[in-house]
Copies of this chain bind each other. A is one copy, B any other.
Amino acid sequence: MVNSDPNVGERTRKRVQEVIQALSFQPNMAARGLAAGKTRVLGLVIPVGISSIFSDPYFPLVIQGVSSACNLRGYSIMLWLAEPQFERKTISQIIYNGLIDGVIVLSMLTDDPLIDRLSESNLPFMTIGRHPTNQKINYVDVENRSGAYQGVSYAIETGHRRVACIGGPRNTISGQDRYQGYLEALRDHGRPVLPELIVEGDYSDAGGYQAMTRLLPSKPDAVFAASDAMALAAMRAIQEAGLRVPEDIAIIGFDDIPSAAISKPPLTTVRQPIVQTGKIVAETLIDRIEHPDPEPHRILLPVELVIRASC
């Protein structure tokens, strides 16, 4: 017994430990996994279909959180970047191959076939990002809607009348949720929804710049961008057009990435706890693996409006 078997003598246990030390013995995980039926490995699936997605600082931070929780609990991470062409075959193959005790899926898209496959299986899994329809899926997400609501409300309450929106991609859940928050804030403050002030972005720097360029002729006096990357790019576009931030156009972002604090002016933004999200999703999944429990776990992490100088 290499492990701490509960009914093994104190003396024996000690001797075993000494021998382990002396030989610097490492149990073979493949054998252990085979015999015990559990490997202490978590799968982490990240879709990279959307081109810009991996240059976003979001993903590394999630990985960092997951990794940190796994280290603490003695788990390892198997990483798959799900390139679209592999989804059908490889992913499902890989997932059922007995190397993994559970899976975390970074679920951006509103319709991810992988999720359906997983819910049919009996492999424990959680998603980062809520599922739009299936109520039985366990997830961790941040309060995207409420965060956007807060940000846009703040813009309105600080006297801005034409608040534009650079949204996230429409086929992402977070993009939709943040857009909803924008809409609701407008409605609750009795403001009209003006189509010319709404542009779809792709969360990326380049996309934000382009979106702002298209927005400029409509003369917004504030912009809510669904990501900091886009917000910062929009700020650049505004300044290059000879306008001032926040005097001519105020900006509110979403994420609070490191560079948001040091832009000029510093970006007012909605902070989401990215590393924390990764940690919690991993912890919850490990809990569920070790103590199976049919109760759905749906966790919504709070966001926080960080007021700086851009609005």
Question: Which residues of A line the B interface, CB within 8 A?
Answer: 26-31, 33-34, 39, 41, 44, 48, 52, 54-55, 57, 59-61, 63-64, 67-68, 71, 76-81, 83, 86, 90, 93-94, 96-99, 204-206, 209, 233, 236, 240, 257-259, 262-264
Contacts and interface: CB of A to CB of B under 8 A. Distances in A.
Nearest to A97: B29
A97 B27 contact: yes
B98 A31 contact: yes
17 contacts: A26-B93, A31-B98, A44-B79, A54-B64, A55-B257, A55-B258, A63-B79, A71-B83, A76-B78, A77-B78, A77-B80, A78-B78, A78-B79, A205-B258, A205-B262, A206-B258, A240-B264
Contact of A57 (B55, B77, B96): B55
Contact of A97 (B26, B61, B90): B26
B30 A39 contact: yes
A64 B51 CA distance: 11
Nearest to A206: B262
A257 B99 CA distance: 35
Contacts of A96: 26
A62 B42 CA distance: 21
Contact of A29 (B44, B48, B52, B99): B99
